[in-house]
A and B are shown apart, each in its own frame.
Chain A
């Protein structure tokens, strides 16, 4: 508290008109530098997983194919976020934001799929255009 020049407060440096600073504890303006080995390792893992995605299309697993493909894609996205996007070294708050966002996507898709699965039995199969034409012809 107390009066002190605005330019000296921590957050204010990032605030000045247009000035942007990558505020990150202890690493100055550059931000966190990921170890080269971790980056190369992640890159290699992504390549291997891409190969796995392609390879698995040649094996017929029935309905399991889609789950394998999406599972591999999820792992890849996780690696990118953890290492390339520095989530592993970032504040826990950012991990909470990330997990929270995924939870909201899951919520939307889960409720919607639950509903569409529930009302499938009530749908009358058929060509909607034909139904409409029939109704219109009845109207005339």
Chain B
């Protein structure tokens, strides 16, 4: 245990971690903070599993021909990687893990509106996760995370039924979280917190929750129809039974495209907080950022057909979906420009969360811009199903969504655990992850534009000698990058674990944030606030001052805000 100087803040005498003890006090808890922590552990465990399969996939591709596994094993490995990362990691990572912890505290509330539903949602996630992983590990499915028909309904793929059931259950977990957040934001905002005084993270979580509630039932129905077709032989998607496989893609992407926004919107909400707090400057264009979240949520429902340009979708719909797809760039760009404008003339602290925030802006810009050739009909015909697509969506999902989540985890780590991690170690980790990520995925843009198809186990047969050699160079670089990124993640896990036992005790407000979660102690007490805190402008940093004794920031007493922004 560290030695404490008397001026350092001590843990609150009773916080949510010490409020009650024993396994059951966690398993049966209705406290949003504990549920958030349990989600976080589940998500990080799944991230490790999904990451191991990613490394296996990358290792297989390091040389042409068979390297460490057979083609069938390779198909299973990338399916496991994709399904775990999408359904068990990215979708629940920000809303269910970080959102659960932070949302009620940001509102100055004691808990979410329906705490039992919250716990139920967590157990549904556990059930779905166990079912999915067992089904995938025991039988193995090789359909990719998209379960495209008619491949997935062939008789020898019974594992699909189990994984589809798991996805159905995980979907309900996601819907419950969404409902909970919508009701909580509507009903539990404190007096004085109007919609336009909410932290932008809450706007992002709200927009995400709307998508979760509107889109996820469609995924449930789609996998249910898939199961009905497989079990009872009713022709819905199978052409040999009179079904239509393109219909499956319509249904699947009606959910799964908005699901991309379930992943990225809350990440953007985190970045709005990181950039503003660590630049110590009022967020620029608050209303534009807030409305752009809602606009992205709505546009997200109108563009699903851009996944199907090469599927046999009609030229009319191809043209329509391509046109609407470009509209998504408007709200996305609004956010990026507003973040940049926020930093302008700010007092930027280049600490770990901020480095993740900056990484997000850099990587998301590349991820967004490379979406344009994919949304353009003519260029997509060349790039469809190549590594260009793989690189594009990893830039958005991994490099943006997950990096923002890890940035958010560092931002709220002192609040969650009551401990500070080593800032130097954190910066090294953040730079390592950023470099490793780009090292891994940038070469994949080259691979894709040269025509390397995705999901291929080999790149020797059928390609010219020159092309194989070129593919090998880029695959080799990409695999080395993935090892480097893995090292950076293990490094990160190492210093975070170290901080739990040896870290300095965290002050209530280590970064100088002005939203309500920085008003309660670190870690927060069981009920978050003894009294409902006063609500001011959550991006007005003039109300914050450095407190040398606490080694953190504090809210000024008797502060009167200047003229409204």
- Residues of A whose CB lies within 8 Å of any CB of B are 1-6, 9, 11-12, 14-18, 20, 23, 101, 104, 107-108, 111-112, 114-116, 118-119, 122, 127-129
Contact = CB atoms under 8 A, between A and B. Distances in A.
Given A6-B529, A119-B312, A122-B312, A15 B188 contact: yes
A15 B184 CA distance: 8
B214 A5 contact: no
Contacts of A5: 531-532
Interface of A is mostly: helix
A1 B192 contact: yes
Contact of B314 (A1, A9, A14, A115): A115
B534 A3 contact: yes
A18 B535 contact: no
Nearest to B528: A6
A107 B240 contact: no
Contacts of A3: 531-534
B191 A18 contact: no
Nearest to A6: B532
B373 interface: no
Interface string B516-544: 00000000000101111111000000000
A9, A101, A107, A115 pick with most chain B CB within 10 angstroms: A115
Interface string B111-155: 111111000000000000000000000000000000000100000
Interface in B310-331: 312-317
Nearest to A104: B214
A3 B192 CA distance: 12
Contacts of B192: 1
Given A6-B529, A112-B247, A122-B312, A1 B535 contact: yes
Contacts of A23: 187
A129 to B, nearest CB: 5
B254 interface: yes
A112 B305 CA distance: 9
Which of A3, A11, A20, A101 is packed against the most chain B CB atoms within 10 Å? A11
B312 A14 contact: no
B140 to A, nearest CB: 23
Given A6-B110, A108-B218, A128-B240, A11 B316 contact: no
B260 interface: no
B520 to A, nearest CB: 12
A9 B187 contact: no
Given A3-B531, A6-B531, A107-B301, A14 B316 contact: no
A107 B302 contact: yes
Contact of A12 (B110, B246, B312, B530): B110
A114 B316 contact: yes
A119 B31 CA distance: 52
A121 to B, nearest CB: 9
Given A112-B247, A122-B312, A128 B239 contact: yes
B290 interface: no
Contact of B116 (A18, A111, A112, A128): A18
A27 to B, nearest CB: 16
Contacts of A112: 247, 250-251, 254
Interface in B438-478: none
B385 interface: no
B382 interface: no
Contacts of B527: 6
Nearest to A5: B531
B477 to A, nearest CB: 36
Contacts of B30: 17-18
A127 B239 CA distance: 8
B190 interface: yes
B254 A108 contact: yes
Nearest to B533: A3
Contact of A16 (B110, B240, B250): B110
B302 A4 contact: no
B189 interface: yes
A18 B30 CA distance: 7
Given A15-B111, A115-B313, A2 B534 contact: yes
A11 B112 CA distance: 11
A118 B314 contact: yes
Contacts of A119: 246, 312-314
A111 B531 contact: no
Nearest to A107: B301
A116 B239 CA distance: 13
Nearest to B183: A14
Contacts of A111: 250, 305, 317
A17 B31 contact: yes
B531 A11 contact: no
B229 interface: no
A98 to B, nearest CB: 12
A90 to B, nearest CB: 13
Contacts of B113: 14-15, 20
Contacts of A108: 218, 250, 254
Contacts of B530: 6
B438 to A, nearest CB: 37
Contacts of B313: 115, 119
Contacts of A18: 30, 115-116
A127 B240 contact: yes
Given A4-B532, A9-B532, A115-B246, A17 B317 contact: no
11 contacts: A11-B109, A11-B190, A15-B110, A15-B113, A15-B188, A23-B187, A108-B254, A111-B305, A115-B316, A116-B247, A128-B239
A114 B317 contact: yes
Question: Which of A16, A18, A20, A119 has the most chain B CB within a 10 Å cutoff?
Answer: A119
A112 B315 CA distance: 13
Contacts of B239: 128
Nearest to B254: A108
Nearest to B308: A115
Contacts of A122: 312, 314
A133 to B, nearest CB: 11
A43 to B, nearest CB: 28
B534 A118 contact: no
Most buried by A among B150, B238, B317: B317
